[in-house]
Structure 1
Amino acid sequence: MKARRDRRDSRWDTHREQRRGQLVGAAVTAIRRDGAGVGMDEIAASAATSKTVVYRHFGDRAGLYTAICESVAGVLLAEVRRATAEASTGPGAGPRAAVAAGIDAYLRLIEIDPELYRFVVHRPLLAQGAARRAGTGDTPDPVNDMVSVIGDEVAGAIAGYLPPAAGTGAARFWGHAIVGLVRGAADDWLARPDGTTREQLTAHLTDLAWSGLSGLASPVEVQP
């Protein structure tokens, strides 16, 4: 009897995870359609359900917001990994190309999904929930978690080109510094458009980042 109950519980776990994934997808659809300021009513309508059902799966607004951030982080991390890996092989491969590819992958998400980026970074859904329970400020920040993971990924790409004497700490600091640089410029690019294209911004940021890396990380392979 216990084995039968365990299998049944496992099936329900799978169902719940699938349902959570469906609700996150519906929320992303609502964000793209209605903008970053979308509310819970619009998200529930997009999922063809009620807010009560959404809260049942995520607990509260913060739980849903965190799940959306995790989904976006997964997509962004996969794109950064793919782009840097491709830039590290083939014609013109090297650390500078990898840095440029990682920056471009980050900016591409903003260009394709600006409202989703605003939703994740500026947290309008949480701002709407002014009556959140006390203590939620002590929970981990999914945006900072996402930035940390991407920073570690960029650091790993840089470390692959460093001599052993440089140490892993330098690569970690440089990787996170590049992510901070890109995020700050990207936020301004989105908030105050002036006609600068993604390709142009990628080139500007790569030039700035590489001018520091190529000097500090010598004898890292330097590309023109």
Structure 2
Amino acid sequence: MTPPVTIPLRPGATPSGPGRDGRDVRWEAHRTKRRRQLVEAALKAIRKHGAGVGMDEIAASAGTSKTVLYRHLGDRAGLYRAVVTAVDERILEEFTAAEAVVGERDTVERIAAMVRAYLSMVEKDPEIYRFVMTRPLETTQGEDDHPDPVHQITDRIAGRLTQALREHLVATGREDAAVLAPVWGTGIVGLVQSAAEHWLSSRRTEDSPLTPDAVTDAVVSLIRPALTEGRR
């Protein structure tokens, strides 16, 4: 059974400050809770109906009306951003857990653990992955007040990879190559995304599709030489 995506409180976190009474705080807490419930219902609807799920189906999953959805999440683009935020938090939680198991002994294995965690999530929730990657046109403009949600996810993942790569290069006496860490981190994200999309497509047509471990091994086999070069 697919583990539930944890809905972060950050997007609707209760603000604090002077001039706010108890009723304001309670109302904000209610809105945060209701928003979380609606996003959870949206995730269930996406799993059931696929990435092309409609607002009517999401409202039915939540046991409410589209009017309530719009009130708490805005339009479809607002719903999309809320779902992406939840998925973003889940990915980073999975990365942290995967890294904790491996530890900091082997950077290649740390990266492999993150890649494997990402692909495992794609395998468990393919429709949610498709929903996130097939974003509404309204969310692709990259406005200052609403930056591209997918870019926010990939930037955070690339940041985690970049940190691991930079630490590895410095620790192995390759400080001069540490400047390449952001390039490699971003490149790995693109590689894994492309591999994941190809993998999902092939799973529909192949009798014996590759496992997340097999795809991870294929990706890491391209990365390992660059990271172990200084040890030879």
- What is the TM-score with the length of structure 2 in the denominator? 0.82
Q: Percent identity?
A: 44
**Structure 1 residue 75 corresponds to structure 2 residue 90:** yes
Partner in structure 1 of residue 162 of structure 2:
155
CA contact (8 A) 2:141 2:148 kept: no
Which residue in the other structure is 1:113 paired with?
A: 125
Question: Alignment length, in residue pairs?
Answer: 206
Correspondence for 1:210 = 224
Distance across 2 between alignment mates of 1:168 and 1:61 = 41
Corresponding residue of 2:39: 24
Specify the SS of the correspondent of 1:200. Answer: helix
Residue 182 in structure 1 maps to residue 192 in structure 2: yes
Name the CA distance, whole Å, in 1 between partners of 2:95 and 2:19.
43
The 8 Å contact of residues 84 and 157 in structure 1, kept in 2 or not, is answered as: no
Give CA-to-partner distance per residue, 1:95-146, whole Å, 9 cap, x none. Answer: 11111101101100111000110000112xx26xxxx69x956331101110
Bigger RCO of structures 1 and 2 (CA < 8 A, at least 6 apart): 1
Q: Work out whether 1:122 is the aligned partner of 2:134.
A: yes
SS at match of 1:172: helix
Question: Which letter maps to 1:41?
Answer: D
**Aligned partners of 1:167 and 1:13: how far apart in 2?**
48
Contact 1:81 1:153 in 2 (8 A): no
Distance 1:19 1:211 in 2: 49
Post-superposition Cα deviations, 1:144-188, rounded to whole Å, max 9, x if no partner, equal 110110110111122222227246532222111111110111111
Q: 1:61 aligns with which of 64, 76, 79?
A: 76
What amino acid is aligned across from residue 119 of structure 2 in structure 1? L
Change (3 A) 1:7 1:188: same
Corresponding residue of 2:215: 201
- Distance in 2 (CA, whole Å) between partners of 1:167 and 1:19 is 48
- TM-score, normalised relative to structure 1: 0.84
Post-superposition Cα deviations, 1:11-41, rounded to whole Å, max 9, x if no partner, equal: 1111111110000000000011111111000
2:38 paired with 1:38: no
- Provide runs of 4+ in structure 1 moved above 6 Å: none
Give unpaired runs (5+ residues) of structure 2: 1-17
Question: Does the aligned pair in 2 maintain the 1:147–1:179 contact within 8 Å?
Answer: yes
Aligned to 2:127, what secondary structure does the other structure show? helix
Distance 2:189 2:119 in 1: 11
- For 1:46, give the aligned amino acid: S
Q: Secondary structure at the match of 1:192?
A: helix
